[in-house]
Structure 1
């Protein structure tokens, strides 16, 4: 027969049924089970700048024929020269940019886990950092430094 413990009434049900998760006097609130729900969205203009730049880089790299180089003046002639004469350089820059965004998103995942941020907001941080890179990761790192100073 299973021994039933008498617990204070403010303990949640799951702590009353799982003895291995039980904390003395329901001190579960002070454990590492605490989650944070921090998420801060960035200015939407960053999406235009970062994602627009990545899309333009992809167009230059994989579809250089569809770019209207004449509309960009001197800059257009420069990027046309890059697209047709230094294609390997654009391919290298494109894949490095993609790799860095994925790497920064993984760093954001690990930082969210370290900060005990809940699953929904961790997904938000991951996607925002995947699309924006260091702009998003910088906000999360500032929050981590602030939390470190507080504790």
Structure 2
């Protein structure tokens, strides 16, 4: 748990968000890199939408996949700045925030942004 000075504050994202993001990005990766292996007919409306996007808008999916990870990278770098701003100095804790934010995006970054270290004035 976090020390009282807040220099090693870390909270894990909610399991639900971790599951949603992991499944979503996994399905996105599957449709972009192995679209021939996706069982579209077994996935109902999601399969129909994915099939349509693969058939008619594949470049958007392909470049969108890279853009998604680029956005996650920028969120993770922003998490490092927020850690500095909030006085989280532990290198291992900052690395945890970076990795978690890179993998789960706003599901992690939101927890860090909401954190109010003791002794710092709260913005209104």
- TM-score class, shorter-chain normalisation, is 0.7 to 0.9
Q: Which residue of 2 aligns with 1:116?
A: 87
Match among 2, 6, 11 for residue 40 of structure 1: 11
Q: Please state whether the residue corresponding to 2:13 is helix, strand or coil.
A: coil
Note the C-alpha offset of 1:105.
Answer: 0.2
- The answer to whether 1:149 aligns with 2:122 is yes
**After TM superposition, what 4+ stretches of structure 1 lie above 2 angstroms from structure 2?**
144-148
Choose which of 47, 71, 74 in structure 2 pairs with 1:76. 47
Equivalences, count = 117
Q: Alpha-carbon deviation of 1:63? A: 0.8
Q: Distance in 1 between matches of 2:18 and 2:26?
A: 11
Structure 2: gaps spanning 5 or more residues: none
Instruction: Please report how far the alpha carbon of residue 99 of structure 1 lies from its aligned counterpart in structure 2 after TM superposition.
Output: 0.8
The alpha-carbon deviation at position 44 of structure 1 amounts to 1.7
Between the aligned partners of 1:75 and 1:38, the Cα distance in structure 2 is 38
CA distance in 2, matches of 1:115, 1:73: 45
Which of structures 1 and 2 has the larger relative contact order (alpha carbons within 8 angstroms, sep 6+)?
2
* RMSD of Structure 2 on Structure 1 (CA): 2.0
